[in-house]
Amino acid sequence: MLKLALTFLIIGIVLAVLGFGGIGGAFIGIAKILFFIALALFVIFLVLGLMAGKKVKDAID
């Protein structure tokens, strides 16, 4: 998902440089949304992984 966000960001910057500011801004907006979705998923999976690790450790002991 971060690769897709980076792709949208690069396309948006290129479009803005070429003078297509409106559509370039839209691409950058999509890149921001994808970045924050990826960040939220990372935090969720990090918490779930830590909780699962504690359960496994408790089961072993």
Q: For the chain, what are the domain ranges?
A: 2-60
Cβ count near 39 (within 10 Å) = 13
Identify the DSSP state of 18.
T
Q: pLDDT at position 55, please?
A: 75
Cβ proximity of 8 and 31 under 8 Å:
yes
What pLDDT, on a 0 to 100 scale, did the predictor assign at position 19? 94
- Distance in Å from the first CA to the final CA of the chain: 37
pLDDT digits (tens, 9 = 90+) for 3-59: 999 999 999 999 999 999 899 999 999 999 999 999 999 999 999 999 888 777 677
Of residues 1 and 35, more confidently modeled: 35
- Which distant-in-sequence residues (6+ apart) come within 8 Å of 38 by Cβ? 1, 2, 5
pLDDT tens for each residue of 19-28: 998 999 999 9
- pLDDT, residue 1, reads 86
Contacts of 22 (CB under 8 A, 6+ apart): none
